[in-house]
Amino acid sequence: MGEQSPDGGRKTAKATKKAAPAKRVTAEKGAVKKNDEKNPASAKKTASARKATPAKKTASARKAAPAKTAPGKKAASGGKSAAPVKKQAPAKKPAVAPKKATAAVKGVAPAKTVAPTTPRGESRTALVRRARRIDRELAEVYPYAHPELDFENPFQLVVATVLSAQTTDLRVNQTTPALFAKYPTPEDLAAADPEEVEEILRPTGFFRAKTKSVIGLSKVLAEDFGGEVPGRLEDLVKLPGVGRKTAFVVLGNAFGRPGITVDTHFQRLVRRWQWTAETDPDKIEAAVGALFPKSDWTDLSHHVIWHGRRICHARKPACGACPIAPLCPAYGEGETDPEKAKKLLKYEKGGFPGQRLNPPRAYLEAGGKPAPPLGAAG
């Protein structure tokens, strides 16, 4: 190994200066070859290192390949994760409890959220038969059922019915004798001093509003109907304080024209019996009316209302003393023990006076007692 000539050395230096960075790698390779010639052992290590480098690259490439396909796998797994959405089918099924069980839960109003065509899964025919059978049973229990307001003519009945709002028929019956004694005709009441009428009606509650209504309807009767109560629904509902309920009471009991009286008792019982799930009085009237012949409507109203006042109470129905218990879907909501249930009965069914001061003879013959006048003891 002799030394290079000065000219060769200068050429090499110039070539090195002009060479691109890539040529530096060539110079380094040349230096490695010289070292290999001097040291064979290091040459073997260098060769093995060169061979190992591609191997490592190949291994890392193999490992990198799955990394590229990983997003595909994640996407696939993402597709599979959508599968549980199909399993959410149970959410589509409305969890509707049986009406009997739901009715026993306080605060639940299934009729407001569920309105099936036929309650309890009954066919329309089965519902009609059950409803009519209940009415027949009640007709045997209350053969003397009648309007529980004392009246002698249509005018007295329409006034008494308006006064019965937010109070009992008993309280109205104890109040109207003094009112009709002083103002026997629509003309008399139309010309009355409001303050005097208010004082008479004070025991019925809301006496100012009721005074305004009865004086107002009396004026309309005197001015537009010749002092007579009209016998048509469309005319009655034009009177101040008169709605469909009051109109049907008057039509059914003063004129003999069938009508359904949807009061608070009627609404409660027809829903308990699952005749309808409606809550609006007009819709209840239509739904229940479709189950019965029109000729039965007035008596049906009496039967249902009487049963609601005497046995099927709002808070504690006397289930154990109910004559239609086998037909009632709501049996068990109240007291089922017969002896305890008997103590919950009211009016003639419990041995107490009724609501009318002058009840019909049939009621008295059946063991009913007249109500005491206002201020009387007992």
What positions carry a catalytic annotation? Answer: 245, 263
Could you tell me the CA-to-CA distances from 288 to 102, 133, 261, 333, 373 in Å, in that order? Answer: 22, 14, 11, 23, 36
The CB density around residue 349, as the number of other CB atoms within 10 Å, is: 20
**Nearest alpha carbon to residue 221 among 183, 195, 256:** 183
The CB density around residue 355, as the number of other CB atoms within 10 Å, is: 21
Radius of gyration (C-alpha) of the chain in whole angstroms: 48
Please report, as a single letter, which amino acid is at residue 77.
Answer: S
Phi/psi region, residue 133 (left: phi>0; alpha: psi -120 to 50; beta: rest), is alpha
Helices (H), the chain: 6-18, 21-38, 40-81, 83-86, 99-103, 110-113, 124-141, 154-163, 169-182, 186-190, 194-201, 207-224, 233-236, 244-254, 264-272, 281-289, 297-310, 338-342, 361-365
Token representation of residue 148: 């529980």
Alpha-carbon distance of 81 to 60, in angstroms, equals 31
**Packing angle of the helix pair 264-272, 297-310 (nearest 10 deg):** 90
* Cβ-proximal residues to 140 (8 Å cutoff; 6+ apart), any chain: 323
HEC per residue, 3-29: CCCHHHHHHHHHHHHHCCHHHHHHHHH
